Structure 1
């Protein structure tokens, strides 16, 4: 076999570059991080959806009613007893009433609590339209929210302030008075601050009495508004008075009346639409 010889230059290159690399121990390259750094499988907790609080009811609905026989309020007249005789209607079975209604749109509601131990107890029940019941609850919640808002207006925290100068001119006084009347109409509590400018013209006693007269006339012009704190301080100097606007109950009653009128108009439009289609 013929021996293969290499040149001195090739041997030198071999000893410089190849031999050192071959003499080093081979290391294993890890594609994955060390064991203690491996991210283990975890489950992320589901975000909790916002849900309504469970509804608290004092009345039983549909299958919750345990009595076999019931007295049913007339669905048309919404009356239980006969107007002339005062007699109760013949009792009906709960099963029969539930089978006679569409439970998707109506429900049977027990209007009075059970009487434990009374085997002959027959509760008074009523068929309720679900949509009408929902609308009524919605109106009730809206009225409560409105009442809370109005109560906050009439409290000291919701008090408005109107500042006046005793020597104010007629036009500016008119604007301030109308602003105060607007607050009073909304049922707000208003603090009126009266003062005189240090370098301005000093008002006469007659002018001061005229300003007070305009303010009190404005309060009297708003039904239900009144002074809760009379004038405190010095006429012609620094003084304050607090007035309270319309009572909250009057504003709520007015809002209910407007809501009833709107409901009647809507029902009238629906009736006309049905008649046109018919």
Structure 2
């Protein structure tokens, strides 16, 4: 009896008493009891129930309705949008169009107004407020020097009618150039060409004609160059015709296309000997 009592006291001192003195020690609990104890005492944030069950996760995403897509497009066209920029289509082979209006990314610009007066380092948004959006564009005409951190792009106000006319003229010149290129060698002159350049190009035309090739001579005004006087134009035509016709057997194979002061094209060919 005394032996059982001693054993009970020993077990009490080893297992029960330490647990009573420090009841938070988890190692005194069995593994299953410890797991239950941890789950009941630890505070975890509540888990939100899933909005998609297992069946809905396998379903394909729903297509957006026409009304939703139309509403998004209308919001993009809203006048309260920060910037409404229509990207320029990237057409293969077409020259890059200069930035216009909000496509000009610089906050400050050098500005040439409608009267041709230069205004340096002004806010782009202030200039845009001066535009009539129905008839005008702010067009970037020059890019800043990348090596100068203070440089800003140069811009000017251009009417939409002028831009359409410029585009039409360019297409006509491209069409004319293509027509001339298909007919043979091309020699390009401008009405205000320097005498030395004129002589060099006419010698080249003579060389082509003597080789038996067709030669088309195109005379056109050059951008950002001075405008030739009527006497200079007449003298240029006289010298060109005299030089070309000095080659034996050369004749014009088609009527001259264009007008003096604009774009004129002459078509020459050396007749073959029988």
Shorter-normalised TM-score: what interval?
A: 0.3 to 0.5
Could you tell me the TM-score, scaled by structure 1's length? 0.35
